Structure 1
Amino acid sequence: MPKDNTYIIAEMACSHEGDPALARKIIDGAGRALADAIQFQIWLAKDMAVPHHPDIPVLQRIELSRQDWDDLATYVRRNYPQMQIIACVYERASVDFAENLDVDAYKLHSADLANPYLVKYVAATGKRIDLSVGASTIDEIRNAVEWIRQTSESEIWMMYGYQNFPTPTDAIHLDYMMALRDLFQLPIGYQDHTGGDLEGAFWLPAAALGMGVDVLEKHITHDRSFKGIDHQAALNPDEFMRFTTMVREIEAAKGSAVPRSFSEEEQKYRIYSKKSIVAARDLPAGTPITDTDILFMRAPDLGLPPDQSQRLIGRTTQKDIVAFQLLREEDIQ
């Protein structure tokens, strides 16, 4: 399970544009915002798609070399040791390389949910697997979970997100995300792909957090106005800082589900606001108390609450009590 606080993943994706300097800017943004992890998408164009695929020229343009990734992993560990590295991998060679980098966890893209060869290969590392389930059937999710469990004891976090950038709000279906959590009894994470320039980029993850997600994955870029690859749903570094601050503030507000002692401020509020039993009129010593002799009002001090009034009715005052004075047990015979 994730730690007590929501686990925040800064998804770099391909916002680096194939430039290690831009990748370092993104890492700096995630690290300064105190993200729990930075996510690398590690691949080579030749392994991603067939040579005649129309995306090959773009993939080749934004590809980072193995040495680039090695340098970036070193950069993370030297400058932001508190931040884990997650490798999103698409084939075995990248898994082998990521193992040499000693990444902390793996992300399996929903594209590979029906790929037992890769799922089992990643599971064999024994490291945590963030299993993306967007646009996947229940059977595809169930099979992937079983392949992992057949292979190792790797921890599984289920990651839910609508795979369209940017995502229309009415396409997200947060209730379905929580239904998946209940069905598979796994920690659930929300991958938010709302337009980075929309208010929903903040309040939709906040809503997911309120529903009980364990993990939030949010895209981060160096500069959204650059309008490069993967920019639509990404936050700028300053926005990502505001995002993580928001998450931690919501966590503080959630507090604990168990009863707790009243704080000093709450004790003061109880004295100020709670009603007590007071005399409705002057009650000389020896007066039998009836229900017309008492009122329920705020007083400077806290006395007997209204639900204790029947304990007083029919009993007799043993001292003079003036109107609006608290009626206390010790004043009654």
Structure 2
Amino acid sequence: MFQNTPFIIAELSGNHDQDFELAKSMIHAAAKAGVDAIKLQTYKPETMTLDIRHGEFMVSEENSLWRGNNLYDLYAKASTPWEWHQPLFELANSLGLVAFSSPFDLSAVDFLETLDVPLYKIASFELTDIPLIQAVARTGKPMIMSTGMASKKEIQEAIAAVRGIGDNPLILLKCTSTYPAKIEDTNLVTMNDLAGFTGCSVGLSDHTQGLAAAVAATALGATVIEKHFVLDRSAGGVDSAFSMEPDEMADLVSACRAAKASLGAVTYGGSDSEQASKKYRRSIYVAADLDAGTVLSEQHLQIIRPSYGLEPKHWPDVLGKTLKADAKKGQPLTWDMMA
């Protein structure tokens, strides 16, 4: 399944604006951009929150994209109708994409199992929902879990919930759960620590604007990159502010693939393609026409390119040596020319 590394996921989220044709267009555009997978979110507003319109059921954070919204209405707007899932998954599969979802409650897991999804994603806000994690683990399928906001203890508890059920393949994503996330809050070096204390493969769920964090994460060994996707930011969409448009997603895919390719393997002495370039290193050459018997001095020799003469490190050793035979200007100096 994860033939490409990093495995790049386009998250449709609620950017389809409840328009089925738009959702299909997004999948076509994501495939054209070169991603490996598309992901939906599976929930209903009534399984996310209560329909209460005051107090903590309102988004109140000053810097939130959704400030002033009632949670129930927000989730209703952002949700993907369940009857869309099968045709969208089938469309994605027909275009060569892996298609899966993030379930947000037990009924969503049951529903997604009827569609035989190949893997599951646990969202960062659900990482402490141990019953949900256990339900997904019981499917036996690969799991991706975002770790935004989670402490080490909470991450370990989530992993233990999985391992208490089975040995599902498990990938953990570094995630900054602000929308959009500031690049300076991404703290990508956490990925290596996350891999170290969990023993899991790691990746990035990226809510920053642009592709820098995704490329940097790839260079640090990310096996999965998840990025929100939208056809046109200016047209709106609940997550449009931190989502990538098709051309940008194509650039991200290309840049991440290039970053991965650039890592290569530990290599010294030059790659195979570099060997021909070694001729343009410097070496010691005869810098004037010289007669046999000449005692070599700095006036007779020069360290220049190319590299067919003795290496520059032998400069002190050749000064004061005597030529055995005549030498021409431009002749590489070799040991057999000297007495």
Question: TM tier, shorter chain?
Answer: 0.7 to 0.9
Matches within 5 A, 1:286-305: 286-287=293-294, 294-299=301-306, 302-305=308-311
- Normalising by structure 1, report the TM-score: 0.86
The CA distance in 2 between the partners of 1:3 and 1:291, in whole Å, is: 60
Matched, 1:248 2:254: no
The CA distance in 1 between the partners of 2:87 and 2:329, in whole Å, is: 81
**Are 2:130 and 2:158, in contact at CA under 8 Å, matched by a contact in 1?**
yes
Q: Given the alignment, which residue of 305, 311, 333 partners 1:327?
A: 333
Matches within 5 A, 1:30-109: 30-52=30-52, 54-78=70-94, 80-81=95-96, 83-109=97-123
For each residue in 1:190-211, what CA deviation from the matched residue of structure 2 results, as whole angstroms up to 9, or x when unmatched? 222124xxxxx12232233333
Q: % of aligned pairs identical?
A: 28
Q: Given the alignment, which residue of 226, 230, 238 partners 2:239?
A: 230
Kindly tell me the number of residue pairs found equivalent between the two proteins: 322
Partner AA of 2:311 in structure 1: P
User: What is the CA distance between 1:18 and its match in structure 2?
Assistant: 2.2
Matches within 5 A, 1:237-276: 237-259=246-268, 261-263=271-273, 266-272=274-280, 274-276=281-283
* Equivalent in the alignment of 1:205: 214
Partner AA of 1:7 in structure 2: F
* Equivalent in the alignment of 1:198: none
The CA distance in 1 between the partners of 2:203 and 2:255, in whole Å, is: 17
Gaps of 5+ in 1: 196-200
**Are 1:10 and 1:220, in contact at CA under 8 Å, matched by a contact in 2?**
yes
The CA distance in 2 between the partners of 1:67 and 1:278, in whole Å, is: 79
Partner AA of 2:177 in structure 1: Q
Matched, 1:26 2:36: no
CA 1:281/1:223 → structure 2, altered by over 3 Å: closer, same or farther? closer
- Normalising by structure 2, report the TM-score: 0.84
Matches within 5 A, 1:106-185: 106-185=120-199
Decide which moves more: 31-40 or 279-288.
279-288
The CA distance in 2 between the partners of 1:209 and 1:244, in whole Å, is: 11
Measured on the aligned residues, the alpha-carbon RMSD in Å equals 2.6
The CA distance in 2 between the partners of 1:166 and 1:101, in whole Å, is: 32
The CA distance in 1 between the partners of 2:77 and 2:334, in whole Å, is: 83
User: What is the CA distance between 1:309 and its match in structure 2?
Assistant: 4.6
**Are 2:40 and 2:80, in contact at CA under 8 Å, matched by a contact in 1?**
no
Partner AA of 1:214 in structure 2: T
- In structure 2, the residue corresponding to 1:212 is in which secondary structure? coil
